[in-house]
Amino acid sequence: MLVFRQLFDPQSSTYTYLLGDRASGQAVLIDPVFEQVRRDTALLSELGLKLIATLETHVHADHVTGAWFMKQRTGSKIMLSAASGAEGADRYLGQDDVVGFGGRRLLVRATPGHTNSCLTYVLDDRSIAFTGDCLMIRGSGRTDFQEGDPAAMYRSIHEQIFTLPDECLLYPAHDYRGLTVTSVAEERRFNPRIGGEIGIGDFTGYMRNLRLAHPKMIDVAVPGNLRCGRPKGDGMADEPPADPSWAALRYSFAGVWEIDPHGLEEHQGEVQVLDVREPDEFSGPLGHINGAALIPLGELADRIGELKREVPIVAVCRAGGRSAQATVILQQAGFKDVANLTGGMLRWRAEGHPVDGGSA
């Protein structure tokens, strides 16, 4: 079975694609974004997948790739076009190369035009292709910076993308209107720049008059991507964000820092345990954690002044749901070191940790 997820970075309108082979647990990511590495790592771990490679569709001008950062976290191999001129990749790809993950394969097609390094990745059964910034949904990548070349793009689209089966689904690297997917037949017919009877001269004429503003990040993004997303090491803003160090926490795809019962017991004397259940639950059959402060979730925003800002807080409830929302409220109020007790009192008890009160 194929695991397939389309992920979005709102800052750059970039799509990142996760492809996994359920049987082997191997996965690849196409176009990971530096700022989203924590999110993507969380998803891989929740889906039980091992990242074996990150693939770039090209050297991006609008965001820095997460390739290097992902490699630090997961050991994934960095792959991109040999035509990129980038340093620090593990494998340089070109026309007809094959990238395997478990029992599945992606086939590489060179589709220059937006940049020289543009690749389209076609899934083995030709049901899906990832077109990067070559063919977009009712659009195409621009050709007015990097090695942009409208004639090359026209040929790439006609020879490498429109030759795929009609029903093949196409997923681009960006969409600026929130559209998510298209197909070969649709674009061949309806793409306003290149569909129908539009010829190479019509296309180049269109592309020379797009009149788009330059990407805001281009001066940082291109050099960063030519290092495959490795920070310069000068402490500038492109350093990876540090993980919290006060306990072993896990970041969830839902966006919450989680601590497991064992981790909380280890740090119990050093943190504030905040129980956000109702009073009758606190004194009810599940009992509560020794030293826990009780502030029901509905009262938390008004009573936030009762909590110390300099001591980490672990929020607790029955099953770990309401307390996850408590961490959101605390973070909104400026609390930095906050975590949710995964599974709440139910898991705390099930794993044999001590409780005050409650029934056996």
Ligand X SMILES: N[C@@H](CCC(=O)N[C@@H](CS)C(=O)NCC(=O)O)C(=O)O
What residues line the site for ligand X (CB under 6 A)? 12, 61-62, 114, 133, 139, 141-142, 174, 176, 212-213, 215-217
The stretch among 13-21, 39-47, 126-134, 230-238 that binds Fe ion (CB under 5 A) is: 126-134
Shortest Cβ 123–Fe ion spacing (Å)? 21
Q: Which amino acid is at 218?
A: I
215 binds, among ligand X, Fe ion, none (CB under 5 to 8 A by kind): ligand X
- Shortest CB 165 distance to Fe ion, Å: 26
Name the nearest CA neighbour of 10 among 80, 72, 62: 62
DSSP state at residue 242 = P
Mention every residue, 6+ apart, whose C-beta is less than 8 A from residue 204. Answer: 150, 151, 154
Select 178 or 269, whichever has its Cβ closest to Fe ion.
Answer: 178
CA 124, 130, 131, 133 torsion-angle sign: negative
Helices (H) then strands (E): counts for the chain: 11, 20
Nearer to ligand X by C-beta: 220 or 319? 220
Q: Strand 14-21 relative to strand 2-9: parallel, antiparallel, unpaired? A: antiparallel
Radius of gyration, CA atoms only, the chain: 25
Give the span between the Cα atoms of 233 and 239, in whole angstroms. Answer: 7
Minimum CB–partner distance for residue 312 and ligand X (Å)? 37
Q: Which is nearer to ligand X, 210 or 346 (CB)?
A: 210
Cα angle vertex 120, ends 117, 125, to 5°? Answer: 155
Residue 35 or 258: the one with the smaller Cβ distance to ligand X is: 35
CA distance 21 to 2: 5
We find the least distance from the C-beta atom of residue 141 to ligand X, in angstroms, to be 4
Is 175 a binder of Fe ion (CB under 5 A)? no
Our CA angle for 99, 103, 105, nearest 5°, is 25
Rounded to the nearest whole angstrom, what is the least distance from the CB of residue 61 to Fe ion in the complex? 5
In this chain, which residue has its C-beta nearest to Fe ion? 133
Please say whether the beta carbons of 114 and 148 come within 8 A: yes
Q: How far is the CB of 185 from ligand X (least distance, A)?
A: 22
Pick between residue 150 and residue 261 the one whose CB is nearest to ligand X.
150
Residues 23 and 73: their CA atoms lie apart, in Å, by 23
216's contact among Fe ion, ligand X, none, with CB below 5 to 8 A by partner kind, is ligand X
Beta-bridge partner residues of 122: 107, 129
Select from Fe ion, ligand X, none the partner in contact with residue 227, using the beta carbon and a kind-dependent cut-off of 5 to 8 Å: none
In the bound state with ligand X, the residue whose beta carbon lies nearer, of 85 and 103, is 85
User: Three-state SS for 327?
Assistant: helix
**Adjacent-strand bridge partners of 101:** 104
Contact range with Fe ion by CB under 5 A, out of 65-73, 133-141, 180-188, 343-351: 133-141
Q: Which is nearer to ligand X, 144 or 278 (CB)?
A: 144
Neighbouring C-beta atoms of residue 91, cutoff 10 Å: 13
CB of 142 to Fe ion, least distance (A): 8
Q: Is 133 in the site for Fe ion (CB under 5 A)?
A: yes
Total residues interacting with Fe ion, rule: CB under 5 A: 1
Q: Give least dist CB 218 to ligand X, A.
A: 8
Rounded distance between C-alpha atoms, residue 31 and residue 67, angstroms: 8
CB of 26 or CB of 143, closer to ligand X: 143
Which partner, ligand X, Fe ion, none, binds residue 71 by CB below 5 to 8 Å per kind? none
Which residues would be at the binding site for Fe ion (CB under 5 A)? 133
